[in-house]
Structure 1
Amino acid sequence: MDKEKLDEEFEKLWNETPLLHSDNEKMSSWEEFQSKTFASKKPKFRVWRYAAVAAVIIFMLIGTGIYFNRSPLQDPFYLTSNTIENTSSIIKIVVLPDSSRVELSPDSKIVYADNFEFNRKITVEGEAYFKVKKDKKHPFQVFCNETTTTVLGTSFTVVAQGENGVIVSLYEGSVQMNVKDQNKKWILKPGEKFIYGNNIAEVFEFKRFTDFENEKLSAVTDYIMANYGYKMTIPKEYDNQRITVRINKKEDLKTIVQLISEMYNLKFEINEELKQITFR
């Protein structure tokens, strides 16, 4: 086979690379590859070099095709993975290797790799709330059914719906949403909810705050019990104290407790075993 025909064959192979690169990038790479491979300085090695390069290209194409058709759980970094399930009736707190926190709802499960600090990819079945540690070098991605949530430093909930549906609610920061086999992407802002189901993706606003307008402090006590499962006791003289405050529905409990402590100049103690907060 002469050089022109070999050129044509190699160019066909090269252009079959998965569409991760633009046509300009592929053409530039092809020209660089061609100039190096068909250099005229060592013509006597040309035949075996063609064969070797062709074998490498074919291997690359096959390998790349397999990789990009895999689901997240089939990727190499999941060969040694960690599975955490919540079989209890209360929320389970999970601290990931990168210090991100997950509040795993009952009957829910997450799976992540042993080298999670470098491959911050995690799958969810059920419902989970994430508070992600920022790391620009290592994106945090959550896979749930057919969707991928790419985290740009934030807190959000992911809820699986049926076989393919997902609801992602953003409380702080920013996330990018992608759907399998769709080129479009959605960037969510705090207070926006992404709903996907039956091949339809929509974004809606939702109320991410709970407002207390000149209410008794006991109203906050009831709120903490209902949403966090902690009993809060305050001195009797503060029973009729009024409070106006806006609380993020997924705010850390300790942040709320510290806020109340500063507002009323009180000290507090948290008993994790009894799930009790005592102000003095």
Structure 2
Amino acid sequence: MEEEKYLEEKINRALQAMEHPENFTDEELHELLDDEQCLQTCRDLLDSKEALARQNAPAPDIEKEWNKFSSQHTMQTNIHRRGELNSPDSNPKGEITDVNVSGRKLSTPAAKRTRFIGLSMVLIAASVALLVWFYTPIHSSYTVFEANTVAQEISIEPHEGRNLLTVPRGMNKKITLADGTRIWLNAESQLEYPETFEGQERRLVHLKGEAYFEVAKDTAHPFIVETDLLETQVLGTSFNVRAYSPDDAHVTLLEGSVKVSDTHHKKELLIKPGQNATLQKGGTFSVNEVQAKDYSTWAEGQFYFDNTELVEIMRELGRWYNINIIFTSKEAMHYRMHFQSDRSEPLSQVLDLLNSMQKVNAKLEDDRVIVGL
């Protein structure tokens, strides 16, 4: 912060000298006019936080811009000097002291103006380069998914008297609980469950991520799926719960009936087969009719997206293939698409299929997928 403040003060001081050179001594003007000083100040400015935020744009070559600007004005400056030196009004004795731009001694008003012109040329050249750079259209990048660089495996560990099943990215897992309930866990998901439900009034499991449930019927013992965002209670049914984030939390019912609520039980509703309940900001739910079977195709080894924003599609691909996803177009992030692919296919083939729709361009570069228009 101290360095940034110093640079800002230095640039402001130079700009003040441009506007009011009469307020500066010869020594101060000489210091500001020093080419390396001005050039280094501009370089430092480019290294500031604001410049770093635009790291995708090429930085200007300040010296190149200065040389270009200087060469364009050399002839005009020389003509001006000759006219001034030969003018009896400006120099009746024909002396040429104190007008050498690179000289050490400049004290007359005319000399100050000359030094001011030199200072202005340097700063204007740098300003032109900076303006060109700052206003050059660039593509901002939006990282929407970051890969996990640590290799992981499916694991089951004891956790406070219960089991904690962890499924990493790029994998899924089917498990059958003690009551006969079958659960398919999607990539990057966790399920906490008891060894047995004996002696318990309700069958309670806790989910992080996404899972598809086929619950064994037991009217005396409701089956409850808790997440950090919502809760689903059933007696016996087939449904899908997805709760990766507050922006991606919903329950989709295939068979039977379920009661969905927020974690504080302030909002509760019953949904029917073919309905999808999505948690909204503020704890309310929106319900819409869907092809419910499409929401469980992932458990059958398929990617299936129906009128889904591209950013959500790419997050799912990133989660399965464990790869960074970066958008270079904010507009492309919100494209809605219908897309289906086999999860067993290599990523390159899935991207080729996506690109064949000719809406966006997704390319694999090293350890990331770049998505743009």
Length-normalised TM-score, structure 2? 0.34
- Which structure's residues are more often helix, by fraction? 2
- Which structure's residues are more often strand, by fraction? 1
Greater relative contact order: 1 or 2 (C-alpha under 8 angstroms, separation 6 or more)? 2
Larger radius of gyration: 2
